[in-house]
């Protein structure tokens, strides 16, 4: 049986590269236990060795203990029981804490909390400055990380004027400027668009070649494919520690599901090919073009039919073809600028003549790179900022309610029911109506009031908190929901559940509803949205999902399955010019179905 090993494809770094350092040159945890509340351990007898020069990916569901583990690595948290040794220094020894934190740098989930200086260049220089380095060396370090991360355009910007994704880039730059021996990324790429995420990981890999270890906590399964090792956490324990090829192999499918992990598209496609019954085995290919070429090497006469544009856009098509005026929300010519920059005095134009139409019964995705104006557009649609030109109109009698990034941070009541009931109470509704809305809203997000209503908010997992926050918004009985990165920082199973909740809410035929979904994830937009507007530098660059699948917009990465299909389709035999121009299938499931049908034809 021919085996096509395209995992280490040209242009990708070797995932099998071993550590050049001895095992003693490491961070070592031995039987570590830790609790935030008495009797509720978050880490349970965790033992692990993390070596300099090694790339370790840490996966697990929300609430599994990943971030708590990360904070043990440089003494931000100290274990109740067990020991943490950082390059031979104990985190219990306060006298060595400065050396420990200089050797293990961290980038957290919320980059805004790490911004400490007024401008980007000053913020990156803050850490090296605290090490007492000479000014010339500080300048060299700052210039070096700015160049490696390609963020020179941000250098003179105010840190308060950055988007969430731009703040994450700056936080990573500040950590790398410390020249750590191990860099810990706690979901530090979660708010980045695809190209920015690849740029950060590529730069981090360059430092790794210099001997810097990387511990990356992530919910992006495809990032784990590039690791030397993958650690999976569940219920405060390490339940897997091994190579990514083993974790994402078919035999681990049941366990991955139990641990609430997803399967990257690369692994799904290689599994499909290997299980096709043909005399061909394809290992996980990080490069989608290489995966397609490997399949074509096995099946040179493979024929695919055109399945262009298959996806959830039927609602938009039906509305447009019906001739009805289905618009619930429109924006015309929106322009907005955030004051003046410190360096030039020129206004930072976030929106530039943006037009948008949101139809009834649809999910409309706003997609674009970090800093493209997505969140600003959402603020304008919500009426929280007034555009300097243009206007926003909603159909009569409709209410528009925004849900911002990390809405669980806004939970404040003691119990789940009290938090969900807060909004309806401000509307001066009757007790019976408030109770009805609380029950209905919790049911809509898959949380029974009987089971969850009396529970404390602090007892919930991250995914449960996110759903409670959305239930509180649904209890206001909105007509249009404005969602800003609703699945950010959620594990794959929680994100998939939230997608189903959003879809079911929009599709409820008893009400006229719509959703505006801001996302930097092209795959999420293709999977969930009926219509798409792509922003680039504050203006509308393209409209419609086909703009994603053709890769025409800066900062929007073409999903793996789309690149795979495009290569396979255009290289397969007997494809007409008309078919070559057709849009590829929108979802991974559609691609898998088409390829499977072709293999069994």
pLDDT digits (tens, 9 = 90+) for 291-306: 888 888 877 777 776 6
Q: Tens digit of pLDDT for each residue in 507-529?
A: 987 788 999 999 988 889 999 99
33 within 8 A of 226, measured Cβ to Cβ: no
Domain residues for the domain of 566 are 266-309+561-599
Asked if residue 217 and residue 98 are part of one domain, the reply reads yes
Tokens of 424: 């309806």
Asked if residue 203 and residue 108 are part of one domain, the reply reads yes
Asked if residue 574 and residue 453 are part of one domain, the reply reads no
Model confidence at 345, in pLDDT bands (50, 70, 90)?
very low
Q: Tens digit of pLDDT for each residue in 533-560?
A: 999 889 999 998 877 877 666 667 788 8
- What span, in angstroms and rounded, lies between the C-alpha atoms of 33 and 37? 12
Q: How many residues does the chain have?
A: 601
Q: 507, 527, 549 — which closes off a domain?
A: 549
Judge whether residue 579 has pLDDT over 70: no
Q: Is residue 16 part of a domain?
A: no
Q: Is residue 15 part of a domain?
A: no
Asked if residue 595 and residue 474 are part of one domain, the reply reads no
Asked if residue 419 and residue 280 are part of one domain, the reply reads no
Question: H helices within 286-415, ranges in order?
Answer: 288-298, 314-322, 374-382
Asked if residue 327 and residue 426 are part of one domain, the reply reads yes
**Helix axes of 194-209 and 135-149: crossing angle, nearest 10 degrees:** 130
What count of other Cβ atoms lies within 10 Å of the Cβ of residue 398?
Answer: 15
Asked if residue 291 and residue 254 are part of one domain, the reply reads no
Residue found by looking up tokens 């121009």 in the block: 581
Asked if residue 319 and residue 291 are part of one domain, the reply reads no
pTM: 0.82
Q: Tens digit of pLDDT for each residue in 125-182?
A: 999 998 888 999 999 999 999 998 889 989 989 888 887 778 888 998 999 999 999 9
Model confidence at 322, in pLDDT bands (50, 70, 90)?
very low
Asked if residue 36 and residue 143 are part of one domain, the reply reads yes
State residue 559's pLDDT score: 87
Q: Would you give the DSSP letter of residue 262?
A: -
Model confidence at 462, in pLDDT bands (50, 70, 90)?
confident
138 within 8 A of 146, measured Cβ to Cβ: no
SS3 44: strand
Number of independent structural domains in the chain: 3
Q: 236, 263, 290 — which closes off a domain?
A: 263
What count of other Cβ atoms lies within 10 Å of the Cβ of residue 442?
Answer: 25
Asked if residue 587 and residue 531 are part of one domain, the reply reads no
Q: Is residue 6 part of a domain?
A: no
Q: Is residue 10 part of a domain?
A: no
Query: HSE (CB half, 13 Å, CA atoms) of 246?
Result: 10
501 within 8 A of 467, measured Cβ to Cβ: yes
396 within 8 A of 482, measured Cβ to Cβ: no
Asked if residue 111 and residue 258 are part of one domain, the reply reads yes
Contacts of 207 (CB under 8 A, 6+ apart): 176, 183, 214
Residue 194 sits in a domain whose CATH number is 3.40.50.300
Q: Where would I find the beta strands (DSSP E) of 296-399?
A: 327-340, 347-359, 363-368, 389-394
Q: For 540-559, give one letter per residue: b (16+ CB within 10 A) or e.
A: bbbeebbbbbeeebebbbbb
Q: Is residue 1 part of a domain?
A: no
Q: Is residue 184 part of a domain?
A: yes
Name the phi and psi angles at 240, rounded to 5. -155, 140
Q: Is residue 68 part of a domain?
A: yes
**Helix axes of 416-426 and 431-444: crossing angle, nearest 10 degrees:** 130
Asked if residue 372 and residue 319 are part of one domain, the reply reads yes
Residue with the larger pLDDT of the pair 334 and 597: 334
Q: Is residue 8 part of a domain?
A: no
Q: 263, 295, 322 — which closes off a domain?
A: 263
């Amino acid at each position: 049986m021919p085996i096509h090993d395209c995992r280490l494809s040209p242009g990708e770094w070797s995932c099998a590269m071993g550590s050049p350092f001895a095992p003693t040159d490491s961070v070592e945890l031995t039987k570590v236990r830790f609790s935030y509340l008495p009797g509720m351990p978050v880490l349970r007898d965790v033992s692990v060795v993390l070596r300099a020069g090694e790339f370790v990916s840490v996966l697990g569901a929300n609430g599994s203990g990943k971030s708590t583990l990360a904070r043990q690595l440089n003494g931000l948290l100290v274990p109740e029981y067990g020991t943490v040794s950082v390059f031979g220094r104990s985190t219990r020894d306060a006298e060595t804490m400065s050396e420990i934190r200089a050797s293990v740098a961290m980038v957290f989930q919320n980059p805004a909390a790490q911004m400490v200086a007024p401008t980007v260049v000053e913020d990156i220089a803050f850490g090296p400055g605290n090490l007492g380095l000479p000014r010339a060396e500080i300048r060299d370090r700052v210039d070096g990380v700015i160049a490696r991360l390609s963020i020179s355009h941000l250098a003179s910007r105010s840190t308060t004027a950055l988007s969430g994704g731009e703040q994450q880039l700056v936080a990573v730059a500040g950590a790398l400027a410390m020249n750590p021996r191990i860099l810990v990324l706690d979901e530090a790429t979660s708010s980045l668009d695809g190209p920015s995420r690849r740029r950060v990981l590529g730069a981090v890999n360059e430092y790794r070649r210099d001997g810097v270890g990387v511990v990356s906590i992530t919910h992006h399964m495809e990032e784990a494919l590039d690791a030397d090792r993958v650690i999976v956490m569940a219920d405060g324990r390490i339940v897997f520690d091994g190579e990514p090829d083993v974790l994402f192999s078919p035999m681990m499918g049941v366990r991955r599901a139990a641990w609430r992990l997803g399967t990257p598209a690369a692994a799904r496609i290689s599994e499909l090919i290997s299980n096709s019954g043909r005399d061909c085995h394809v290992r996980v290919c990080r490069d989608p073009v290489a995966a397609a070429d490997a399949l074509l090497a096995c099946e040179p006469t493979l024929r695919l039919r055109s399945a262009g544009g298959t996806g959830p856009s039927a609602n938009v098509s039906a509305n447009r073809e019906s001739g009805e005026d289905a618009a619930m929300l429109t924006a015309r010519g929106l322009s907005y600028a955030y004051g003046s920059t410190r360096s030039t005095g020129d206004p930072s134009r976030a929106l530039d003549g943006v037009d948008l139409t949101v139809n009834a019964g649809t999910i409309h995705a706003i997609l674009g790179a970090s800093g493209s104006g997505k969140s600003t557009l959402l603020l304008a649609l919500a009426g929280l900022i007034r555009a300097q030109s243009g206007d926003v109109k909603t159909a009569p009698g409709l209410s528009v309610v925004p849900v911002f990034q990390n809405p669980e941070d806004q939970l404040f009541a003691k119990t789940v029911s009290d938090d969900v009931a807060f909004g309806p109470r401000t509307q001066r509704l009757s007790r019976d109506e408030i109770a009805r809305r609380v029950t209905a809203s919790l049911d809509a997000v898959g949380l029974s009031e009987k089971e969850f209503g009396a529970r404390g908010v602090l007892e919930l997992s991250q995914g449960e908190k996110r759903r409670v926050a959305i239930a509180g918004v649904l209890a206001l009985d909105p007509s249009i929901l404005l969602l800003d990165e609703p699945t950010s920082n959620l594990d794959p199973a929680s994100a998939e559940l939230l997608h189903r909740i959003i879809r079911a809410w929009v599709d409820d035929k008893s009400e006229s509803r719509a959703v505006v979904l801001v996302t930097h994830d092209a795959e999420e937009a293709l999977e969930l949205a009926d219509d798409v507007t792509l922003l680039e530098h504050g203006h509308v660059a393209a409209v419609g999902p086909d703009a994603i699948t053709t890769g025409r917009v800066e900062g929007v990465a073409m999903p793996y399955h789309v690149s795979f299909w495009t290569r396979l389709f255009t290289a397969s035999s007997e494809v007409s010019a008309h078919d070559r121009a057709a849009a590829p299938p929108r979802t991974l499931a559609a691609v898998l179905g088409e390829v499977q049908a072709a293999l069994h034809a």
